[in-house]
Amino acid sequence: MESRDAIGYNKEMNLMLEAKVKVQLRHKENFFMTGTLKGFSRQSESIFLVNADDTIGNKFTKIVIHGSDWLNITLESTPFPMEGLYTRLKGVLPPGQVKYMPEIQAISVMGKINVTDKGVTGDGPLFERVKTIYDQYVADVQK
């Protein structure tokens, strides 16, 4: 069974997934890596970044930074507010049709329509309704 500290850590790290982060590296003063956080290991404290670059201009498509090599992670961009979209969808669709999966930052509607920060996938009349709600939500968030 995980301790409360581990659960809290995992929850907070999950909230940063898919967001742009800045990682301060331990072995060089004022040396940072910036990229999109795609994964992390609670056990080794390693983090996985994509589309990353460092302070001196090196670029990395994918990079794993071991837990002993970084000091801190800061959020550089706000993650997509998926929970707010879930609340909106849940408010307009019949009960039980909308499932929020915070660990992967996704929403499933009736198991047929999937919603992520990248958009909506699926088909049919319900897809069109969910896509309209998604588009309006994105427009509201960007205001």
In this structure, are 17 and 70 located in the same domain? yes
How does pLDDT run across 73-114, given as a tens digit for each residue? 998 877 788 889 999 999 999 889 999 988 788 999 999 999
Q: What is the pLDDT of residues 125-140, one digit of tens each?
A: 999 999 999 999 999 8
Q: What does the pLDDT look like over 17-71, one tens digit per residue? A: 878 999 999 988 889 999 999 999 888 889 999 999 999 999 999 999 998 899 9
**Does residue 17 sit in the same domain as residue 64?**
yes
DSSP string, 2-44: --HHHHHHHHHHHHHTTSEEEEEESSSTT-EEEEEEEEE-TTT
Q: Are residues 55 and 99 in the same domain?
A: no
Q: How confident is the model at residue 3 (pLDDT cuts 50, 70, 90)?
A: low
Residues 11, 40 within the same domain: yes
| pLDDT classification of 124: cutoffs 50, 70, 90 | confident
Q: Single out the residue in 19, 51, 75 at which a domain terminates.
A: 75
pLDDT at 129: 94
Q: What is the token pair recorded at 101?
A: 């999966």
**Partners of 100 in the β-ladder:** 107
Range(s) of the domain holding residue 11:
4-75
